[in-house]
Structure 1
Amino acid sequence: MFDLDQTLENPALRRFLKLDKSVEGTVVHQPFSTDPAYALKEWDVITKVGATPVDNQGRVKLGANLRVYFKYLIQKTAKNGKVPLTIVRAGKELQVQLPVSSQRPLAIPNLDGAYPSWFVYGPLVFSTATREMINGLTSGHLAVGSPLLKRFGDQPAFPDESLVAVSSPFFPHKLVKGYDNPMLQVVKTINGRAVKNVGDLVAFLRDSKDEFITIEFDLRGAETLVFPRAEIAAATDEILADNGLRSQGSADTLAVWNAKASR
């Protein structure tokens, strides 16, 4: 449960919510999702987790002399990915089933020992942005204003959102002559189209018929890269061979790249 809450001890807050004196619980300060179908809304008062009452400090009783934060009960009460809550909304008591997960969805996730999705396109390596990349930022222009810092800790802004970054320096090639190294910069658009995730980027590159590929980065002062589409596509195999790379991407991005053959 990743919703944020606050205590219900303040008298003015209780009057603002028009709560009966008998109501005890914790106030939903920031719901994890703003989707209209989401079970919790701002200003809901969570009064019970399952059958266990929640007090005005957001605590639940465990035995005669022990009180703990109510979220302790979430994992113990949840069944089939949902936890039953009793809430008060606009003065009415409701029963809701709140979807819960053990992992918080993040726009910039941790790898946790896994490998990120990645894809080589000409002299560039695109990758899903991860928290581990932040360690590569310096105190210079790469860090100032970087979405890797601005979006740190954010949940995805929409389903399947993940930031896409250039994960390594350019591979040597004449196509990059005169361009600054965009390592650790986050891709904003390809040919003016916003990028949702690395799979979305690969699909666009796969299907593009434009004469040029333009890559805009989400960083003030960053260059926009322009490549002739036919030339950068033709250079990819050469670059892979010259640098001893046996694959153009991770299994998931290659599945997207090769999907065109099945159409």
Structure 2
Amino acid sequence: MTFWSKVFTVTLLGWVLGGCTKDGQLTEAKKNVVMVEVTSQTWDYRLPWNPGTVSSARGAGFVIRGKRILTNAHVISGARYITVQREADPRKYPAKVKFVAHDCDLAMVEVEDPEFFKGTTALALGNIPELESVVSVYGFPIGGDRLSVTRGVVSRIDYNAYTHSGRESHLAIQIDAAINPGNSGGPVMQADKVVGVAFQGFRGDVAQNVGYMIPTPVIRRFLQDVEDGKYDHYVDIAIRWMTLENPAMRKYLGRPDDGLGVVVTDIFSEGSSDGILQKGDVLLSIDGHPIESDGSVRLQGQPVQLEEIVERKFAGDPVELELWRNRKLDRATLKLRPAEMFSMYEFLYEPSPRYVLYGGLVFQPLTSNLMGMLAGSADLRLRQTYSLFGQDQIYRETPEPVILSSVLPDPLNVYLRGLAGQVVREINGKRIRTLADVEPALREGGERTVIRFEGDQRPAVLKKAEVDLATPRIMAQYGITEVSRSGIEGRRLAKGSYSRTESK
């Protein structure tokens, strides 16, 4: 996985592909593929106390072993009410989300009414399909309410961005076929087995007949992860590397011209490799798989990016590395863990936005959701903080940057509106490293609150007595019921955030 968010112009929508459909396969699909209809609510990060708009959409899913339904995470994100419906059955059954994995765009839905599963047999998982082989995709695209089947050809198997997450990349399979809204979460089948889940595709004005499916190694990992009753997220080797295809570089490092190895260029603090690998190490193999000089390894006969070895493991699992250090062969063992320090780049869906309101000043943690709302209006320093948060390891000192996201106009603060969008450095002399630091810092000091920002000499100064008088007025005027919502509540943050919060 990579910590940065890739620019990948794709659309998360239902789409239809397909393959040569045998009678038996179609019969199984009719029994086990379901329409998933969702009423969802999307939080408004510009006004974080606002629950946001309600919308309706539909996708697909399918019955798997254990009377469970598998679908995409983006199909059920923000769900307030879910129903599932089988082909040729007029009844719609209420359902609820059991597990969701936004980092790999998969979710599991359960239905309490046992009547729903009568006649289902559960679809079995197969293996990665061969290039140029034909597959069938089942679902409920726009244009009708009945089960649809069309054909597609496997055209590429590669490590690719999963758009729903905002930052994650995993193994994905590209299919050369038309894309239509309404079929996300539908099974991609070959013979009588599921070989993938339809999940994203390019917009029509970018590329025609290009769609993607989540392959079974990713599906199996998700199912194995939730066996203990919770989802623990992907782990990450947490390094950056460069290819070793340059003969001059190989000679400089003392490496023979054997076509193997990549050079470690960065090791991220708090990550799996921290304290074990060093900059300049040449990684030669991972868990016994030789690493080619372009960063690929062979897995089940297919060339894949070296991170794919890590992709199939879990927190606490070891990874054995053979490496070249100081012109000598060496070995190292990593214990894998999630890259929580890069979670700022992940889009948030279910949790309500966190904020602190003070005298009409709204403080929020920096997130991908908020940056998306600010778009081009974001301050230059804010954009730099966001872009360099992982690359420059800003999280070591500031695990969760806090910004003054907006100023709600009031006689108390109207002169401060020009400071909106700034990164908060300190409040009343207290360094602000996470949102949890804001409220205690606001209680510090004397009669005035002084707020300072990164790279800006202009402080925001407010009289505390005036803030106390204005707060009820501002809350009533803008329909705000809570002065703050700042608890971590299981959010994934850099380790520094947790340690500092717990010490208070």
Letter in 1 for 2:400: S
C-alpha contact (below 8 Å) 1:50/1:77 kept by paired residues = no
Q: Tell me what 1:179 maps to.
A: 416
C-alpha contact (below 8 Å) 2:346/2:368 kept by paired residues = yes
Q: Tell me what 2:400 maps to.
A: 162
Report the RMSD for the aligned CA atoms in angstroms. 3.3
C-alpha contact (below 8 Å) 2:404/2:420 kept by paired residues = yes
Q: Tell me what 2:425 maps to.
A: 188
Distance (Å, rounded) in 1 between the aligned partners of 2:383 and 2:287? 38
Q: 2:434 aligns with which of 197, 207, 212?
A: 197
Distance (Å, rounded) in 1 between the aligned partners of 2:415 and 2:320? 59
Instruction: Report the Cα offset of residue 226 of structure 1.
Output: 0.7
Deviating more after overlay: 51-60 vs 109-118: 109-118
Q: Tell me what 2:304 maps to.
A: 68
Q: Which runs of 4+ in 1 moved over 4 A?
A: 20-23, 34-37, 106-109
SS of aligned partner of 1:213: strand
The answer to whether the aligner puts 1:127 opposite 2:377 as a matched pair is no
The answer to whether the aligner puts 1:4 opposite 2:240 as a matched pair is yes
Distance (Å, rounded) in 2 between the aligned partners of 1:148 and 1:210? 33
Letter in 1 for 2:453: F
Q: 2:252 aligns with which of 7, 16, 38?
A: 16
**Residues 70 and 186 (structure 1 numbering): CA distance in 2 closer, same or farther, change over 3 Å?**
same
Instruction: Report the Cα offset of residue 13 of structure 1.
Output: 1.6
1:145-175 Cα distance to aligned partner (Å, 9 max, x none):
2323443262252166111122333242x32
Instruction: Report the Cα offset of residue 55 of structure 1.
Output: 2.1
Distance (Å, rounded) in 2 between the aligned partners of 1:242 and 1:79? 47
C-alpha contact (below 8 Å) 1:111/1:132 kept by paired residues = yes
Letter in 2 for 1:58: G
Instruction: Report the Cα offset of residue 127 of structure 1.
Output: 0.9
Distance (Å, rounded) in 2 between the aligned partners of 1:250 and 1:225? 22
Q: 1:111 aligns with which of 348, 367, 372?
A: 348
Q: Tell me what 2:268 maps to.
A: 32
C-alpha contact (below 8 Å) 1:8/1:14 kept by paired residues = yes
Distance (Å, rounded) in 1 between the aligned partners of 2:397 and 2:419? 27
**Residues 109 and 191 (structure 1 numbering): CA distance in 2 closer, same or farther, change over 3 Å?**
farther
**Residues 223 and 84 (structure 1 numbering): CA distance in 2 closer, same or farther, change over 3 Å?**
same
SS of aligned partner of 1:114: coil
C-alpha contact (below 8 Å) 1:129/1:148 kept by paired residues = no
The answer to whether the aligner puts 1:235 opposite 2:473 as a matched pair is no
**Residues 44 and 97 (structure 1 numbering): CA distance in 2 closer, same or farther, change over 3 Å?**
same
Unaligned runs of 5+ in 2: 1-236, 490-503
Letter in 1 for 2:241: D
Distance (Å, rounded) in 2 between the aligned partners of 1:136 and 1:146? 17
Instruction: Report the Cα offset of residue 192 of structure 1.
Output: 4.2
SS of aligned partner of 1:134: helix
SS of aligned partner of 1:27: strand
**Residues 21 and 180 (structure 1 numbering): CA distance in 2 closer, same or farther, change over 3 Å?**
closer
Deviating more after overlay: 24-33 vs 78-87: 78-87
SS of aligned partner of 2:407: coil
The answer to whether the aligner puts 1:250 opposite 2:485 as a matched pair is yes
SS of aligned partner of 1:175: coil
The answer to whether the aligner puts 1:225 opposite 2:463 as a matched pair is no
C-alpha contact (below 8 Å) 1:107/1:163 kept by paired residues = no
Q: Percent identity?
A: 23
1:103-141 Cα distance to aligned partner (Å, 9 max, x none):
6615565324433321111221111122233344465xx
1:199-230 Cα distance to aligned partner (Å, 9 max, x none):
11222113x0323211123365x842111233
**Residues 114 and 72 (structure 1 numbering): CA distance in 2 closer, same or farther, change over 3 Å?**
same
Distance (Å, rounded) in 1 between the aligned partners of 2:333 and 2:259? 17
C-alpha contact (below 8 Å) 2:378/2:421 kept by paired residues = no
TM-score, length basis structure 1: 0.77
Instruction: Report the Cα offset of residue 144 of structure 1.
Output: 5.1
Identify the structure with the greater strand proportion.
2
TM-score, length basis structure 2: 0.43
Distance (Å, rounded) in 2 between the aligned partners of 1:72 and 1:80? 17
Letter in 2 for 1:14: R
Distance (Å, rounded) in 2 between the aligned partners of 1:228 and 1:123? 13
1:60-116 Cα distance to aligned partner (Å, 9 max, x none):
11245x322111111224552553323222224122215342666155653244333
Distance (Å, rounded) in 2 between the aligned partners of 1:78 and 1:96? 15
Distance (Å, rounded) in 2 between the aligned partners of 1:99 and 1:160? 23
C-alpha contact (below 8 Å) 2:428/2:441 kept by paired residues = no
Q: Tell me what 1:259 maps to.
A: none
